[in-house]
Structure 1
Amino acid sequence: MKSPPKDAYALILEAIDLGTFKPGDRLVESDLADRFGVSRTPIREALQRLETQSLLTRDGRSLIVSSLDHNQLAELYVVRAELEGLAASLAARHATDEEVKVLRDMVEGDQALLGDPEAMAKANRRFHKQIHLASHNRFLVQQLDLVHRSMALMAITSLAAEGRDKDALDEHNAIVTAIEARDSESAATALKAHISKAFVTRLKLDSGEVSSVV
């Protein structure tokens, strides 16, 4: 039985998201084709799509992974806080009991990942994605996917700041507690506060005020 064809776009996007390709890195068609075992045509199409989405920037004839300046970062966090807050509010109203249990299990299970910024970053993405899906609003999920795609352009996760992972998990717990209580206002407030604290940590990391553990 033949394995399904590899999605070049998804493979490159995941590599950016995981930090394998960092802002400023040059992406070369032939290298990517060899790396992922995909022909150059889908790689070329994927690169064009990523450039259209502003995840890649043209530098002469080459494409490099884009980076976010201070203003872009601030704008992104403003939009993210509003959309994520709405998702949490809707999740408190519309999530099934099973979806709420999954969120609770995630918070409890992620305790074992404390001290591992990369694993925590992946778990954090899963947690937020689960809230998006629990909102049961496809248009909101689409917009949040775009926002999180742009978040991949950050060179390092805010969870890499010393002590941030424990605080973030406590904030996740507060969000889930509000969703369990079906308190849409508190859920939105808790998630917005979580994003605000992540942004403050990001600014401190970028300024060198706090140290990274990676």
Structure 2
Amino acid sequence: MPNRVERARFDDLYALVSDQLADGRYRPGDRIGLKDLASRLHVSVTPLREVLSRLVGRDVVTEHRSEGYYLARLDARDIAELYSLHLMCLNRALRGDLRVMPGDPPADIWATFRAIVEACGETIVSDVHRYLDDRLKLVRRCDIALLEDSASAAIPLQRVLLEHNLDEAHHQIRAFHERRIAAAAEIALVFRRGSA
């Protein structure tokens, strides 16, 4: 059983690898070179392999036993379904008894969504949300490039949450997700192109 320090290191490396995979350097289906990524992150291959294995379980990465790890592919249908499920998860979180929202408003809309899920206090909702958030992180930069409303959406949503106006929170969250569902084909196209 890992101690707290080892767990924190793993979580930090997980976040770092997740960010690297989502930054557009890898395109869907690209092989993730273990040695190259380990060198870039200044870590050994062993903990990196553990992180990638966890990401395989989250469907962010695929593993071909004799060949290595690859960035998962997402088509327009996958992206639309992920956003639909993400919306359902947030709606479920808002149905619960929201405990105290953080004092300092989260930095962006995705952090606000995480705060909503954490505030509902339901473990299963939190687990499902974490899975969906990891998968959607792959296309988030594409979504931002196309729709450009992520930054401006957080403040009004935070305001209605602080006012405990859950009907308006549902409305804003639904509008945010419906725009992405409607743009899923364009998001998929930008995702396939990558930034390399």
Do they fold alike, i.e. is TM over 0.5?
yes
Give the equivalent residue in structure 2 for 1:75. Answer: 81
| TM-score normalised over the length of structure 2 | 0.74
SS at match of 1:57: strand
Give the equivalent residue in structure 2 for 1:189. Answer: 171
SS at match of 1:102: coil
Structure 2 residues without counterparts, runs of 5 or longer: 191-196
Give the equivalent residue in structure 1 for 2:194. Answer: none
2-structure distance, mates of 1:89, 1:18: 33
Deviation, 1:127, is: 2.5
**CA deviation profile, 1:163-182 (whole Å, cap 9, x unmatched):** x33x4455434433432332
Give the equivalent residue in structure 1 for 2:51. Answer: 46
Letter in structure 2 aligned against 1:85: N
Letter in structure 1 aligned against 2:78: Q
2-structure distance, mates of 1:190, 1:61: 44
1-structure distance, mates of 2:110, 2:140: 16
Identify the match of residue 27 of structure 1 among 29, 32, 49.
32
Provide runs of 4+ in structure 1 moved above 3 Å: 17-22, 167-174, 201-208
Structure 1 residues without counterparts, runs of 5 or longer: 111-122, 209-214
SS at match of 2:24: coil
**Structure 2 residue 19 is the aligned partner of structure 1 residue 14:** yes
Letter in structure 1 aligned against 2:76: H
Give the equivalent residue in structure 1 for 2:115. Answer: 130
Identify the match of residue 183 of structure 2 among 185, 201, 208.
201
Give the equivalent residue in structure 2 for 1:113. Answer: none
Backbone CA RMSD of aligned residues: 2.9
1-structure distance, mates of 2:83, 2:186: 15
Give the equivalent residue in structure 2 for 1:94. Answer: 98
Larger RCO: 1 or 2 (CA < 8 Å, sep 6+): 2
| Identity over aligned pairs, percent | 20
> Highest CA radius of gyration, 1 or 2?
1
